[in-house]
Amino acid sequence: GAVVSQHPSRVICKSGTSVKIECRSLDFQATTMFWYRQFPKQSLMLMATSNEGSKATYEQGVEKDKFLINHASLTLSTLTVTSAHPEDSSFYICSATAMRNRANTGELFFGEGSRLTVL
Amino acid sequence: SQQGEEDPQALSIQEGENATMNCSYKTSINNLQWYRQNSGRGLVHLILIRSNEREKHSGRLRVTLDTSKKSSSLLITASRAADTASYFCATLPAGGSRLTFGEGTQLTVNP
């Protein structure tokens, strides 16, 4: 099956610093990657959609200057939380779609998530 | 309210019993998917059912889809303690490209 690797799994940082989270598709090319944020005991909230080689599309209410997304290759997307504050503490999850039989079923393959704690 | 609403929000059963979770949605869909999430982990795809399908099986999982009622159910038979997790339904809208997730059902299977 398709594997998505997300790193780091946990990060603790001081307020005001920036944190980068990487999401890699290991055995397939991911034309589209998605970044989600999840609060405890809640569902996933889509932050942005990232297409290889183009600018990310952000959901309403998500600050693009705060959450920088780069999708430089078909196997790597990064999310950088800039000038992090305690309210940015959350669980961030990436996912990717894979093309199968020239069709996108919409099935998503998820990374293991990154727990960000901003002190 | 959000596309993909699930009930119950939480379900606690004994090992060996069956667990049923329901999902309702509002718009026309291309397909509906169920995912599982263990605490503090990413989501794992369980099963996908297309809009022209009514029922699908995978191991101990059985998914039904009723497009007239815009609802789906996930049945886990002969549950095990290891099935303890959150289960999310997600819909792919007709003509769309992004999944919308429900609020999830927290399933606890007691040994």
pLDDT surpassing 60 at residue A102: no
Contact A44 B88 (CB under 8 A): yes
Instruction: For residue A23, give every residue at least 6 positions away whose Cβ sits within 8 Å of its Cβ, in sequence order, or none.
Output: A4, A5, A6, A33, A35, A76, A77, A78, A79, A94, A96, A111
How far the first Cα of chain B sits from its last, in Å, is 35
pLDDT by residue (tens digit) across B8-34? 899 999 999 999 999 999 999 999 999
Long-range contacts of B45-52 (CB under 8 A, 24+ apart): B45/A107, B45/A108, B45/A109, B45/A110, B46/B74, B46/B87, B47/B74, B48/A105, B48/A107, B51/B94
Question: Which residue type, as a one-letter code, is found at position A79?
Answer: L
- C-alpha span between A92 and A115 (Å, rounded): 6
Q: Tell me the nearest-neighbour CA distance from B26 into chain A, angstroms.
A: 17
Q: What distance in Å separates residue B16's CA from the closest CA in chain A?
A: 25
CA-nearest residue of chain A to B89? A43
Write out the DSSP string of A34-73.
EEEEE-TTS-EEEEEEEETTSPPEEPTT--TTTEEEEEEE
What pLDDT does residue B76 have? Answer: 98
* Identity of the residue in B44, B92, B104 whose CB atom sits nearest the CB atom of A106: B92
pLDDT band at A69 (very low <50, low <70, confident <90, very high): very high
Per-residue pLDDT, A1: 65
Q: Do A46 and B48 touch (CB under 8 A)?
A: no
Please indicate whether residue A28 or residue A4 has the higher confidence score (pLDDT): A4
Residues A106, B42: C-beta atoms closer than 8 Å: no
Tokens of B54: 């009514």
Nearest Cβ partner of A106 from B31, B101, B103? B31
